Amino acid sequence: MATTLGGSPTRLSFSSSSVLHTLSHKIPFPVVLLQRPFSSPASSVSRAIRLPNSRLSGDPGLRRSFFVRSGLQSGPEETASQTYDFDLFTIGAGSGGVRASRFAANYGASVAVCELPFSTISSETAGGVGGTCVLRGCVPKKLLVYSSKYSHDFDESRGFGWNHEAEPKHDWSTLMANKNAELQRLTGIYKNILKNANVKLIEGRGKIVDPHTIDVDGKIYSARHILIAVGGRPFILDIPGKEYAIDSDIALDLPSKPEKIAIVGGGYIAVEFAGIFNGLKSDVHMFIRQQKVLRGFDEEVRDFVTEQMSLRGIEFHSEETPQAILKSVDGTLSLKTNKGTFDGFSHVMFATGRRPNTKNLGLEEVGVKLSKNGAIVVDEYSQTSVDSIWAIGDVTDRVNLTPVALMEGGAFAKTVFNSEPTKPDYRAVPSAVFSQPPMGQVGLTEEQATEEYGDIDVFTANFRPLKATLSGLPDRVFMKIIACANTNRVLGVHMCGDDAPEIVQGVAIAVKAGLTKADFDATIGIHPTAAEEFVTMRSPTRKIRKPSSPLDEDKTSSDVKSAAKV
Amino acid sequence: MSRKMLIDGEGGHPADEEQYDFDLFVIGAGSGGVRASRTSAGYGAKVAICELPFHPISSEVIGGVGGTCVIRGCVPKKILVYGASFRGEFEDAKNFGWELNDEVGFNWKKLLHNKTQEIVRLNGIYKRLLTNAGVTMLEGEGKVVDPHVVEVTQPDGSKKQYKARHILIATGSRAQRVNIPGKELAITSDEALSLEELPKHVVILGGGYIAVEFASIWRGMGATVDLFYRKELPLRGFDGEMRAVVARNLEGRGIRLHPGTNLSELTKTEEGIRVLTDKGDALTADVVLFATGRSPNTKRLNLEAVGVETDRAGAIKVDEYSRTNVPSIWAVGDVTNRMNLTPVALMEGTCFSKTVFGGQPTKPDYGHIPCAVFSIPPLSVVGLSEEEAVEQGKNDVLVFTSTFTPMKNTISGRQEKTIMKLVVDSETDKVLGASMCGPDAPEIMQGIAVALKCGATKAQLDSTVGIHPSAAEEFVTMRSLTRRVTAGGKPKTNL
Ligand SMILES: Cc1cc2nc3c(=O)[nH]c(=O)nc-3n(C[C@H](O)[C@H](O)[C@H](O)COP(=O)(O)OP(=O)(O)OC[C@H]3O[C@@H](n4cnc5c(N)ncnc54)[C@H](O)[C@@H]3O)c2cc1C
Ligand SMILES: Cc1cc2nc3c(=O)[nH]c(=O)nc-3n(C[C@H](O)[C@H](O)[C@H](O)COP(=O)(O)OP(=O)(O)OC[C@H]3O[C@@H](n4cnc5c(N)ncnc54)[C@H](O)[C@@H]3O)c2cc1C
């Protein structure tokens, strides 16, 4: 949702085009997600999407009857034998829960959803309709990114003839007030969406009692299906002084702007907040355990964004493991790491991963299987180890992004309440990092593509955008297309630079559709834009060919031939 | 046209080769000419190119390597659009917590200086591109003397003739003035990009993209802007709904629109230029811009004498391979008045080289060419407008639209909506056209264009996961139909 949900209640209806057309290039996508930058760091780095649950595979007739049995169109005998308060009870009204509830209700199910009372800062007992994305994630974060980016705009504007007599000052409390007013508006809109979809909203903390029973603060409800969509919460490292640290919830709603902040962590949230506070002129220090930020992203892009962020004034401390936070008499904080102690911070922020909200939900008791890091284990249809209990979104720790939670919610509703077994499709899920400059990417990284395909062609562009030639700032743009050397299919696209998230969305359609590099080349550019570079990258920067193996002689010689041809 | 005919060297016996100074002589080093020269040289051809001396404002004897796009079009224009956009940014910044003076200073001279510096730099880069490609560069005005001879009048007035196996005309186009009394008081886009002083009050005549862009530029820099055009809406040829949105946004940003109005006379007065409209109104401006179309640069090329046919507008007539009726003479870019955009001139230039020197007859493909109007906020489109789809389509047309407040505006309070539209064939599910008016539209549309070019279906758009939070994600989440229009052109009732 790009928007205020304002004037479009019509969007509640589901896709009108139900026929999925075959793609023009029918090459299967890899089903293995090698590295998943948007999953919580505690989970295994490489995990294949599991094969269909045995109950669901095999005889199509069987499969269908399974869904019919569990869906709305239950046989009369079953309906007679047991009645429930609701066809679906959803725990958690975040991205996934709201979507699944709405869609299920749209298919005719009677639906209730429970959600914790509203607060900008989440806890065991506080949350709010809209969930992380709307209240503590994507939306407030992007609003802060907008706000912080202006300082860069001011810098740029000088080269274009604008002058500010005094350096513009930022008033943090104005930003917070306006942001919070917007969050209030949005949570109201989400409540209305649920109401208009005839979903019953129950305020309180949900807990599972048995496979068909939910307890919300002492009140008991029964449901044919239970959907767990409780999301995740920030994880704070267990080190001495951790009580002095803030997490992303708090960072989005601070009473005053940090003067000097240590951000611990190298994931996308850490990188985004570094950009925010740097733009608002805080002194920003990033502490990362690894050598580089953004593990799981394309290596070249990782280096590029680090360099660009450094140029804007962010200080990186790599291979530093935090050991303690100390508070000194003057009230400032010090961060002690394996390498030394760094003083004078007004704030220390932990952006050290998130954990699924699965504690005290009654899951273990009812037999819902959890993974080591507490995520709910589900099959490809989001069904848990208990037949009537399903789970979607961050709580399953698959790809932790709002549009993915939405997709999972939509697929769940279709599967269970529309007799249309639908698996969420994780191929070519695009994503963005709202760092400054921002990143957008879809498909495989160069490293993944090399590992999976062996022979790839890599096209890169690294240029100074038109705006920077006038502003005189050291801003650059990096773009990359990775194509399979044998099929010419585009496997991955990466960009770091202004508007990257907006630019990559359209490109993602092409990548998802399995288009080739030649298809990109056949497209005419829009001049003058940065995006046109994606359709004018004519010659590969490098060709990666898997080392020839003596056992594979035939193949090798043909590889050599094809390489020589170009 | 048979393949054999097209490839270079018909009758290319070694003896023949002596006759020619060059395999290719290109007149005009703009987008099309530079591209064609470079790629031809890349195929091994011996190439020369002539171009007029450099200056930001063009004339019959002034131009410069890089051409309109680099010196007097896309690039300087986009630089000014960037410059002008800051005013809106500053306004928007306030609700995001920034404390700014109400009047931020703006120094036009500084922008002009920096812009010119960048243009000079680019001019140098283009020259180097040619040199590095081994293309011989000649300064002067080119004229066709016979099917294989070009005469170049050098800046000092001396003339030189060159023999070439092929001649490529890539002389582009120039702004045209409407014929009303006082027309000499008006300026064209050339001068508009290089004004000495920033005008306080501008009158613009024209409804095309150049008129609309300059309206946004000057408004952003603080001028009062009156925009006059003949139709009810600006941007004829674009999707009707989008035209209305652009008009509303221009007005929202403070530009005064005068639809259905022409200018009838300009007179010089003490206070500035007095402008009379055909409705009998009068106003005074310090600058009047005519953005009333461009005409191909063919007048002084001596084409009639050689027998190269032109159309009534003066554009050179070419076949699908950019060949004129004289077999050794070809033409690309604006001078052929096909689709007057830089990337199209580039495509035509590349196809020409492939055809003539690469042994691969290649027709430029005019399907699904995306383009942008850099108004503030911008418009960008690819494929068919709703009107075109309804008119051309055999099947019913499904229209999906989405109008929303961009997230930034929820805080800034700016009353401006973004609108997106997809036009889909109801039978094939193919997306026939996409358009968007709103921030970043041109950047967003490029990727959409790749998908549409390859025949993407609405289902393929729907199956793409969004990037959240972005504006672009709206293009892959447009689930509900806004309307269905029958092939006949009437919205369908529910029967
Ligand atoms: C700082 C930050 C920035 C982010 N930025 C982006 C971004 O730019 N793009 C993007 O795609 N994703 C982003 N994300 C991730 C995105 O927010 C999540 O992937 C998404 O919200 C997951 O949706 P969900 O439905 O699984 O869970 P949530 O949205 O977290 O919703 C879960 C809901 O369940 C409620 N709940 C929990 N326990 C109970 C209970 N026992 N009873 C009742 N209710 C309960 C919670 O209060 C919450 O409202 C960001 C996340 C963070 C933290
Ligand atoms: C204000 C403005 C804004 C524009 N913005 C955009 C935009 O945003 N995007 C876009 O795609 N397009 C834009 N265009 C259009 C784009 O500039 C043209 O389509 C493109 O430059 C055409 O390239 P060309 O090679 O045909 O001609 P040109 O680039 O015009 O090159 C022709 C060259 O030939 C030279 N010449 C002419 N006669 C002779 C002669 N007798 N001898 C030697 N040399 C000669 C000229 O000096 C000139 O350098 C814009 C145009 C204008 C005027």
ipTM at complex level: 0.93
Q: Over range B440-453, report the average pLDDT.
A: 97
| A220, A256: one domain | no
Confidence tier at A445 by pLDDT (50, 70, 90): very high
CA A528 to ligand 1 centroid distance, Å:
38
B71 has a chain A CB within 8 A of its CB: no
pLDDT score, position A4: 40
Of A481, A394, A473, the C-alpha closest to A436 is A473
Which residue's alpha carbon is at the smallest distance from atom 20 of ligand 1? A402
Residue A15 lies in a domain: no
| A90, A220: one domain | yes
Confidence tier at A480 by pLDDT (50, 70, 90): very high
Alpha-carbon gap, residue A183 to A54, rounded angstroms: 43
Residue of A nearest to B448 (CA): A506
B56 compared with B326, residue with greater pLDDT: B326
Q: Which residues pair with B421 in a beta bridge?
A: B401, B435
| A247, A305: one domain | yes
Confidence tier at B18 by pLDDT (50, 70, 90): low
Q: Are A263 and A245 in contact (CB under 8 A)?
A: no
Confidence tier at B104 by pLDDT (50, 70, 90): confident
B73, with CB counted inside 10 A (0-12, 13-18, 19+), is buried
Give yes or no for residue A43 having a pLDDT over 60: no
Cα angle B101, B104, B106; round to 5: 170
Give yes or no for residue A547 having a pLDDT over 90: no
A153 has a chain B CB within 8 A of its CB: yes
pLDDT score, position A153: 97
Residue spans of the domains in chain B: they are 14-71+111-173+295-356, 183-292, 377-485
| A96, A226: one domain | yes
Alpha-carbon gap, residue A335 to A341, rounded angstroms: 6
A and B: number of Cβ contacts within 8 A: 328
| A166, A280: one domain | no
What is the amino acid identity at position A534?
F
Query: Residues of A with CB below 8 A from B416's CB?
Result: none
Give yes or no for residue A458 having a pLDDT over 60: yes
pLDDT score, position A82: 73
Residue A208 lies in a domain: yes
Residue A9 lies in a domain: no
Question: What distance in Å separates residue B306's CA from the closest CA in chain A?
Answer: 34
Q: Which two tokens stand for residue B229?
A: 């055009």
Its pTM stands at 0.91
CA A95 to ligand 1 centroid distance, Å:
7
| Record: contact B372-A526, CB cut-off 8 A | yes
Q: Over range A331-352, report the average pLDDT.
A: 97
| A172, A277: one domain | no
pLDDT score, position B57: 86
Confidence tier at A38 by pLDDT (50, 70, 90): confident
| A108, A213: one domain | yes
Question: For residue B382, what are the CA distances in angstroms to A395, B197, B241, B449?
Answer: 40, 37, 15, 6
Give yes or no for residue A78 having a pLDDT over 80: no
B5 has a chain A CB within 8 A of its CB: no
Alpha-carbon gap, residue B482 to A217, rounded angstroms: 43
**DSSP per residue, A128-142:** -TTHHHHHTSHHHHH
Domain topology for B377-485:
Enolase-like; domain 1 (3.30.390)
pLDDT tens column, B245-295: 999 999 999 999 999 999 999 999 999 999 999 999 999 999 999 999 999
Q: Over range A327-356, report the average pLDDT.
A: 96
Residue A125 lies in a domain: yes
B453 has a chain A CB within 8 A of its CB: yes
Name the residue among A3, A10, A168 with its Cβ closest to that of B404.
A3
Q: Are A209 and A368 in contact (CB under 8 A)?
A: no
Alpha-carbon gap, residue B129 to B36, rounded angstroms: 12
| Superfamily in which the B183-292 domain is placed by CATH | FAD/NAD(P)-binding domain (3.50.50.60)
Q: Over range A320-348, report the average pLDDT.
A: 97
| A200, A153: one domain | yes
Which of the residue ranges A213-217, A558-562, B362-366 would you say has the lowest mean pLDDT?
A558-562
- What is the domain range of residue A289? 242-351
Q: Over range B194-210, report the average pLDDT.
A: 97
Residue of A nearest to B115 (CA): A470
Give yes or no for residue A3 having a pLDDT over 90: no
Query: For B14-71+111-173+295-356, which CATH class?
Result: alpha beta
Which residue's alpha carbon is at the smallest distance from atom 48 of ligand 2? B67
Of A524, A469, A525, A472, the C-alpha closest to B76 is A469
Q: Which residues pair with A207 in a beta bridge?
A: A215
- Quick check: bond before B364 cis, omega within 30? no
In the listed set A381, A397, A418, which residue is the last one of a domain according to the structure? A418
Query: H or E element: which one contains A177?
Result: helix A172-196
Question: What distance in Å separates residue B3's CA from the closest CA in chain A?
Answer: 21
pLDDT score, position A73: 44
Which residue's alpha carbon is at the smallest distance from atom 53 of ligand 2? B73
pLDDT score, position A511: 97
**Does residue B16 have a known ligand-binding role?**
no
User: How many domains does chain A contain in total?
Assistant: 3
Alpha-carbon gap, residue A268 to A353, rounded angstroms: 10
pLDDT score, position A557: 39
pLDDT score, position B101: 80
Q: Over range B73-102, report the average pLDDT.
A: 95
A139 has a chain B CB within 8 A of its CB: yes
Q: What is the DSSP letter of A546?
A: P
**DSSP per residue, A262-280:** EEE--SHHHHHHHHHHHHT
Pocket test of ligand 2: the residue of B69, B78, B204, B292 to mutate, having most ligand atoms within 8 Å of its CB, is B69
Q: Are A9 and A102 in contact (CB under 8 A)?
A: no
pLDDT score, position B121: 96
In the listed set A324, A351, A378, which residue is the last one of a domain according to the structure? A351
Dihedral sign of CA atoms A67, A68, A69, A74 in order? positive
Confidence tier at A41 by pLDDT (50, 70, 90): low
Q: What is the CA radius of gyration of chain B?
A: 24
| A131, A280: one domain | no
A63 has a chain B CB within 8 A of its CB: no
Give yes or no for residue A67 having a pLDDT over 60: no
Which residues of A have a catalytic role annotated?
Answer: 527
Rounded to the nearest 10°, the torsion over CA A371, A374, A380, A386 is 90
Residue A59 lies in a domain: no
Which residues of B have a catalytic role annotated?
Answer: 468
Residue A36 lies in a domain: no
pLDDT score, position B6: 43
Q: Are strands B282-285 and B273-277 parallel, antiparallel or unpaired?
A: antiparallel
Mean pLDDT, chain A, as a whole number? 87
Q: Over range A451-472, report the average pLDDT.
A: 97
Question: For residue A415, what are the CA distances in angstroms to A21, A62, A424, B54, B250?
Answer: 20, 15, 10, 67, 47
Give yes or no for residue B311 having a pLDDT over 50: yes
Rounded to the nearest 10°, the torsion over CA A59, A60, A61, A67 is 120
CATH of the domain at A305: 3.50.50.60
What is the amino acid identity at position A53?
N
| A401, A490: one domain | no
For ligand 1, what atom is nearest to the CA of residue A127?
47
pLDDT score, position A279: 98
| Helix (H), strand (E), coil (C) string for B443-481 | HHHHHHHHHHHCCCEHHHHHCCCCCCCCCHHHHHCCCCC
Residue A472 lies in a domain: yes
**Does residue B213 have a known ligand-binding role?**
yes
Q: Are strands A111-115 and A199-203 parallel, antiparallel or unpaired?
A: parallel
Q: Over range A502-528, report the average pLDDT.
A: 97
B444 has a chain A CB within 8 A of its CB: yes
Percentage of chain A exceeding pLDDT 70 = 83
Query: H or E element: which one contains A67?
Result: helix A60-70
Q: Which two tokens stand for residue A425?
A: 């499709």
Q: Are B420 and B435 in contact (CB under 8 A)?
A: yes
pLDDT score, position A562: 35
Which of the residue ranges A20-24, A430-434, B58-62 would you say has the lowest mean pLDDT?
A20-24
Of B263, B303, B293, the C-alpha closest to B281 is B263
Residue of B82, B85, B98, B425 to mutate, interface with A, max A Cβ within 10 Å: B98
| A324, A256: one domain | yes
Give yes or no for residue B494 having a pLDDT over 90: no
Q: Over range B315-341, report the average pLDDT.
A: 98
Residue A199 lies in a domain: yes
The label of the residue with tokens 């029967």 reads: B495
Query: H or E element: which one contains A449?
Result: helix A446-453
Q: Are B296 and B279 in contact (CB under 8 A)?
A: no
| Record: contact B96-A150, CB cut-off 8 A | yes
Residue of A433, A509, A521 to mutate, interface with B, max B Cβ within 10 Å: A509
3-class DSSP state of A32:
strand
Confidence tier at A543 by pLDDT (50, 70, 90): very high
**CATH topology agreement for domains B183-292 and B377-485:** no
End-to-end CA distance of chain A: 43
pLDDT tens column, A225-281: 999 999 999 999 999 999 999 999 999 999 999 999 999 999 999 999 999 999 999
Which protein residues are within 6 Å of ligand 1, measured from CB?
A: A 91-97, 114-116, 122, 127-128, 131-133, 136-138, 141, 205-206, 229-231, 248, 269, 357, 361, 393-395, 400-403, 405, 434; B 468-469
End-to-end CA distance of chain B: 50
| A394, A439: one domain | no
3-class DSSP state of A423:
coil
Q: Are A148 and A276 in contact (CB under 8 A)?
A: yes
| Helix (H), strand (E), coil (C) string for chain B | CCHHHHCCCCCCCHHHHCCCCEEEEEECCCHHHHHHHHHHHHCCCCEEEEECCECCCCECCEECCCHHHHHHCHHHHHHHHHHHHHHHHHHHHHHHCEECCCCCEECHHHHHHHHHHHHHHHHHHHHHHHHHCCCEEEECEEEEEECCEEEEECCCCCEEEEEEEEEEECCCEEECCCCCCCHHHCECHHHHCCCCCCCCEEEEECCCHHHHHHHHHHHHCCCEEEEECCCCCCCCCCCHHHHHHHHHHHHHCCCEEECCCCEEEEEECCCCEEEEECCCCEEEECEEEECCCEEECCHHHCHHHHCCCECCCCCECCCCCCECCCCCEEECHHHHCCCCCHHHHHHHHHHHHHHHHCCCCCCCCCCCCCEEECCCCCEEEEECCHHHHHHHCCCCEEEEEEEECEHHHHHHCCCCCEEEEEEEECCCCEEEEEEEECCCHHHHHHHHHHHHHCCCEHHHHHCCCCCCCCCHHHHHCCCCCCEEECCCCCECCCC
